[in-house]
Structure 1
């Protein structure tokens, strides 16, 4: 019989929790902090809207390409060392894209996306292993952290680029502090690095995960949430500028939407624990996201409200999607495998969103088609959320 160590308590693992939060702070801001600067980057480099959309898409392509291998890295080297390596790659990518040339901007963005992909996959697996009874609460906490830091990155991007002697790539360099601090905080976890256990190293119980309907429902919900989120994250400042807002105000509203993604982390955990399943809340947050997009399209004068509502809805959907990865699986290896599957398929889908939205804008001269398409996607999110939110786990036949 394989002996499983008892789950650690939160109070006894402060350094581990601090490290988790600092890693979470690194997983979104290096991407979302680019959007307010896209106009400046386009003006200085001459790239088109579609090419700027590719810049937003590169991390998603990296997520899709790298995510399937993250669980293998964790099984071979341990989750702690895999996460430390991911932070190194993120730091290297931020440094490269901040050197100035356009090629370095694209290459560095792809590199940091590869590191973020590993972190995205392995954090849910780490929670499943070390905090199985507190998954929702800690997932909410690191979503709050990611949202707050993303908001800071968005709101400070234009002011930093506007400082005397500064420019867009020096503004992007500011996010390098995030992986640097996270690396220092994670060093103690390397000394206690866990050797892959039988449960983590063994092949998945029961057969291929990709044949599970529930796995595909979780994958679809998280993937469509990512599709809508990254289209809006990439283009919201441009949408607002076209609606008549100054660039600095558009950047601040973009930051507000990122800040609002943190709010669900405060309330979703307690609410989800009181529910027998998460179907109703998955449908509600999907529809709230759609209403926000409808408002941005039809009533941009209330952009502050719509940006906040979008951030709240999309942030809640992300937390639910990450929570589904842990709640719908039986053990940490299966959680890592489902996380890799969901992010590989989901981000492959999401990667097409920003450039297609840019092409639609260039073809029509407006953002209406892209926003309508996103509204339709939120309706499909509601359907898949109602299925993924059922209180059950993935069961694979041997």
Structure 2
């Protein structure tokens, strides 16, 4: 029981560090730009870099887990995250960008390994613990964004950035204890050892598994839509006649609606043999709300709330599928690494592409129409990813075992 409580504490500490460092930066961009005399291009790179890092470093996580053990890899990721959070608070542009890259790398590895930790230690409660992690990520992401300006006002922008190194360092220390050779249940903590439940080598075999690609595509398209809306929804609503304050509040409401859904959706999804009904609900709500923004902007609050329900359900559902569609912790880490590499690289390019399209067309009708069109491939990928089956990466080539009742996991 004590070891399980320590693992729950470790999972919570890991989760609360996977968004705060990213969401705490945008409100401080103006202060940082003035203090370090950054150009507009540098600012653009600074706000895009974290999401691109999530994709660029995700592929490392399964390899680190296989070589050193999942717990050791999580500990190292949190240590790198803490170092990056502290480094970017130094008063030099080079330190700011280097710290941002290190933070992004640590978060990327932690993102990938979180589903593996849930699958390994809480396999009978995938829905419950995935819901817990999604809720905490959303809460602390919102907390970091909301606290950034007050912290900056009270103690300066450097303190507002560096403060998030503290919970990351604490989490790294806890995972260091969990990874120690004498810790209960610690496996694969020494160089070259592997967890016993899935012997064998995964290699790149997931690239030959259709189900793995459908899950990856669904997560990628869901993430692209989310980050595009986070980047551009206030401007879209302002163009529709709302004040900047109202537009900012609308985005906040959209994100807030997703907090309870982050808990509910994984719990419900884990109780279902397949998750197609949830996919259908998401892919119907998105085009309806986006079309509403174009055709009936006077009802903007209605469409924003519907968008919040759709995006707030889609991402937790995609993350839950990483656990439900795999047969063990190693498979979950491999699929998570593949899906998040594809997903976040795609998501990182989305806001830039939509912004360019807006500049070229001098309006938001065409960009929003493109987002509506993207719901079609998202629906196809989601419906195929939601079919009963499991990805197994413990021996080449990867296979997808369909029709297995073991996919249904209670809480």
Short-chain TM bin: 0.7 to 0.9
User: What is the rounded CA distance, in whole Å, between the counterparts of 1:42 and 1:247 in structure 2?
Assistant: 21
* Partner residue in 2 for 1:82: 73
CA contact (8 A) 1:260 1:308 kept: yes
1:218 to 1:242, Cα distance in 2 relative to 1, 3 A: same
- 1:22-33 equivalences under 5 Å are 22-33=13-24
Name the TM-score, length of structure 1 as normaliser.
0.84
Distance in structure 2 (CA, Å) of the matches to 1:31 and 1:176: 12
Matched, 1:13 2:11: no
SS in 2 for 1:394: strand
Within-5 A mapping of 1:287-298: 287-296=284-293
Does 1:166 pair with 2:163?
Answer: no
- Tell me which of 188, 201, 204 is aligned to 1:203: 201
**Structure 2 CA distance for aligned equivalents of residues 186 and 116 of structure 1:** 15
In structure 2, the partner of 1:54 is 45
Query: Hey, what's the Cα distance between the residues in 1 that align with 2:164 and 2:213?
Result: 34
> Of 164, 170, 175, which aligns to 1:175?
164
2:408 aligned residue: none
Query: 2: CA distance between counterparts of 1:240 and 1:329?
Result: 40
Number of corresponding residues: 385
User: Judging changes above 3 Å, is the alpha-carbon distance between structure 1 residues 279 and 240 closer, same or farther for their aligned structure 2 residues?
Assistant: same
Correspondent of 2:97 among 80, 89, 106: 106
Which sections of structure 2, spanning at least 5 residues, go unmatched?
Answer: 189-193, 393-397, 401-411
Q: Is the 8 A contact 1:63 1:343 kept in 2?
A: yes
Q: TM-score, normalised by structure 2?
A: 0.82
Alignment deviations for residues 16-53 of structure 1 (CA, whole Å, 9 cap, x no partner): 112212211111222233334456666775643x6544
Given that residues 60 and 113 in structure 1 are in contact (C-alpha distance below 8 angstroms), is that contact kept between their aligned partners in structure 2?
Answer: yes
Q: C-alpha displacement at 1:147, in angstroms?
A: 0.7
Measure, in 2, the Cα distance between the counterparts of 1:181 and 1:26.
Answer: 10
Greater Cα offset, 311-320 or 100-109: 100-109
Q: Is the 8 A contact 1:253 1:304 kept in 2?
A: yes
Partner of 2:382: 385
1 CA distance for matches of 2:11 and 2:54? 19
Structure 1 residue 71 displacement after superposition: 0.9
Q: Distance in 2 between matches of 1:243 and 1:173?
A: 37
Q: Confirm or deny that 1:258 pairs with 2:255.
A: yes
Deviation (angstroms), 1:170: 4.2
Cα pair 1:32 1:233 within 8 Å, conserved: no
Q: Give distance in 2, aligned partners of 1:288 and 1:145.
A: 24
Q: Does structure 1 residue 122 correspond to structure 2 residue 120?
A: no
In structure 1, C-alpha distance between the alignment counterparts of 2:164 and 2:155, rounded to whole Å: 18
CA contact (8 A) 2:60 2:337 kept: yes
Cα deviation code 1:95-134 (max 9, x no counterpart): 2222344443333222211111111111111111111121
Of residues 213-222 and 239-248 in structure 1, the stretch that sits farther from structure 2 once superposed is: 239-248
After superposition, the CA RMSD in angstroms is: 3.1
Asked if structure 2 preserves the Cα contact closer than 8 Å seen for 1:151 and 1:256, the reply is no
Q: Deviations over 1:35-90 (max 9, x none)?
A: 34456666775643x65443333223222222222111111111111111111111
Q: Is the 8 A contact 1:154 1:252 kept in 2?
A: no
Q: Residues 223-279 of structure 1, C-alpha deviation per residue, up to 9 Å, x if partnerless?
A: 111111222233445555666666666555444333332212332244224432101
Deviations 1:184-207 (A, max 9, x none): 4434313323223244452139x8
2:117 and 2:45 mapped to 1: Cα distance? Answer: 31
The residue aligned with 2:327 is 330
Match of 1:3 in 2: none
